[in-house]
Amino acid sequence: MRRNIHRAPLAVASALLLGVFATSCSTEDPTDDTSASEAPADSAESPEEGSEETESSEEWFDQEVYDTQYEQRSATFEGNPEQPWLQYIDGEMTDTSKLASKGAKKACFANASISNPWRQTGWITMNQQLEVLVDEGVISEMETRDAGDDDNTQIADIDYFISEGNCDAFIISPNSTAALTDAVERACDTGKPVVVFDRGVETDCATTFIHPIGGFAWGIDTAEYLIDNLEEGDKVIALRILPGVDVLEQRWAAAEKLFEENGIEAVDYFTGADPTKIKTIITDELNKGEVAGVWMDAGDGGVAAIEAFEDFGADYPVMTGEDEMSFLRKWEETGLTGLAPVYSNFQWRTPLLALEKIFAGEEVPKEWVLPQTPITEDERADYLEANEGMPDGHYAKFGGEDLPGYPEVWQERQIP
């Protein structure tokens, strides 16, 4: 009897194996060319042939993109400044007349994750925008799959949408640039509208790619501010969230270059946005000597950095954070010299509004560059007032004031 027991699964397995070789990998679905990288529309990072041992900043620095974003900081934006989420820099437009279609459409959204406050805030805004468009009969429903920060899952999510989703349009917020390129191209191959936003991919097949100016602009704004407010030879601590994400790496690549050129001594650390780590790092640095400035590639956890100076009894540094409420509040409370750069959170509204335009047959920018202006000390009071009652993890430039549910939904952080 025992022999039978273990023979059975064995037989099944060998049968399967035979079947495999009989059909011998009938490679169906040979989607055209492979990832032989096309020049990315923007964000030309990802060191395809970079040697393993090179310096990080060299890998991520791209003079051409840097120059473009440097210019875009002072560019004029088309559209109503009251609705920055619909503004764009004049450029190539995508003709969508062939995609025009009547009736409510189903959108399929492949989201990278909602694992940080910035993404959570944006996700709430997006859902309120969806509510409006559903009421208007533009969108019938939006099906969302959350990849939980995993490239592999997001690729599977997109493939699932293509085969099972019954989607009329795709919205993709890629988890990483190079890895998602093939999957986005497969979505494009369906012939349906594809909207990519936030991080980019290495293909320009998407109907529109929505993003604020970019990481280099952030780096330039912040580094120039620190350079203006510090002396040559001063020390700046750069607090970075994590390595390897293009939008974050570009911020540091630009800032590092400027610090170097202007004689600012900058030391960078990865913190994972963990305030415990941030506080420890700053304290150790203060132990070593004076710290004149703090630079952050994202303001999350900025409060802990300021508190480290308080607890140590040191003077406040010159600091750049982000438009997260926690930083704005602490900034006002302490009165330190600072700047709140912005990675426009309102971009989460734009993809659905872009679909509205696309289905109406209106042309949309091929690369939809949204405004990205830092909050200065003069503007701070206005934003604090406008966002009173919002939680600390809320972002001042979330751009959802005219949406239903404002302000309760954001105050209570109702995540669907």
Partner 1 sequence: MSTPASTPASTPATTSGSAEAPESVRRRRAARPRGARRLDSTALIYLVLVGVVVASAVLTAVEGRNFFTQGNIWAVLTAMSVLGLIAIGQTLVILVGSLDLSVPYVVSLATLVAAGGMKGLDSNVPAAVFNTLALSVLIGLVMGLLVSLLDVHGFIASLGVGLIVSGYLATNYQGSHGAAAPDLSLLGRSGIAGIIPTAFIVLLVCALLVTLVLRYTRLGHHLYAVGGNREVARMSGVRTAGPVIAAHVICSFLAGVAGLLLLSRTGVGLPTIGSQGRYDLLSIAAVVLGGTLLAGGKGSVVGTIGGVAIFAVLDNVMGVMQVNPFLKDFVRGLVIVLAVAVYARRSVVRRPPRFGPDRVLPLPVPLLASPSKPTDQDPA
Partner 2 sequence: MSAITSTPDRRDTHVLPASEGSLFQRLLRGAVTPGGAVFLLAAVLFIAVVWANPSFGEPPQLIRFIGRTAPIAIAAMGQYYVIVAGEFDLSMGAVIATQVVIAGNYIGDDESRVLPAIALMLAIGAVVGLVNGLCTTLLKVPSFIVTLGTMLALGGLVRYLTGGAATGNPVDSFREIGRGGLQDVPVLDVLPYPVIILTVVAVASVWLMRSPFGRTLIASGDNPDAAGLAGSHVWWVKTRAFMLSSLAATVAGILLVGYAGVHPSVGAGYEFQAITAVVLGGVVLGGGRGWVLSAAAGAFALELLFSFLNFQEVESTWRNSVQGLIIILAVALAARAWTLGRRPSRTPASPTPSAAPSPTPARPGTETGEN
* Residues that bind partner 1 in the complex, under the rule CB under 8 A: 2, 5-6, 9-10, 13-14, 16-17, 19-20, 23, 25-31, 34-37, 45-50, 52-53, 56, 59-60, 113-114, 143-146, 148-153, 155-157, 159-160, 162-164, 175-179, 181-182, 243-246, 249, 270, 415-416
Nearest partner of 118 among 276, 278, 322, 349, judged by Cα: 322
Contacts of 401 (CB under 8 A, 6+ apart): 386
CA distance 193 to 187: 9
Instruction: Indicate whether 272 belongs to the interface with partner 2 (CB under 8 A).
Output: yes
Q: Which residues of 44-79 are buried (b: 16+ CB within 10 A; e: fewer)?
A: bbbeeeeeeeeeebeebbbeebbebbeebbeeebee
Rank residues 114 and 370 by Cβ distance to partner 1 and give the closer one. 114
Positions in 115-154 near partner 2 (CB under 8 A): 115-117, 120, 124
From the list 193, 301, 371, 400, which residue makes contact with partner 2 (rule: CB under 8 A)? 301
Instruction: Indicate whether 67 belongs to the interface with partner 2 (CB under 8 A).
Output: no
The footprint of partner 2 on this chain (CB under 8 A) covers a number of residues equal to 40
> Shortest gap between Cβ of 114 and partner 2 (angstroms)?
6
**Residue whose token pair is 């969230």:** 241
Q: Is 84 helix (H, G, I), strand (E, B) or coil?
A: helix
CB distance 256 to 57 below 8 Å: yes
Residue 179's binding partner among partner 1, partner 2, none (Cβ under 5 to 8 angstroms by kind) is partner 1
Radius of gyration, CA atoms only, the chain: 24
Positions in 224-253 near partner 2 (CB under 8 A): 243
**Widest Cα–Cα separation across the chain:** 85
CA distance 189 to 253: 34
CB distance 130 to 352 below 8 Å: yes
Rank residues 162 and 314 by Cβ distance to partner 1 and give the closer one. 162
Contacts of 382 (CB under 8 A, 6+ apart): none
Instruction: Indicate whether 276 belongs to the interface with partner 2 (CB under 8 A).
Output: yes
> Shortest gap between Cβ of 281 and partner 1 (angstroms)?
16
Rank residues 29 and 232 by Cβ distance to partner 1 and give the closer one. 29
> Shortest gap between Cβ of 88 and partner 1 (angstroms)?
27
Residue 401's binding partner among partner 2, partner 1, none (Cβ under 5 to 8 angstroms by kind) is none
**Sign, Cα dihedral of 126, 127, 131, 137:** positive
Chain contacts with partner 2 (rule: CB under 8 A): 114-117, 120, 124, 243, 267-270, 272-276, 278-281, 283-285, 287-288, 300-301, 303-304, 307, 311-312, 326, 391-393, 412-415
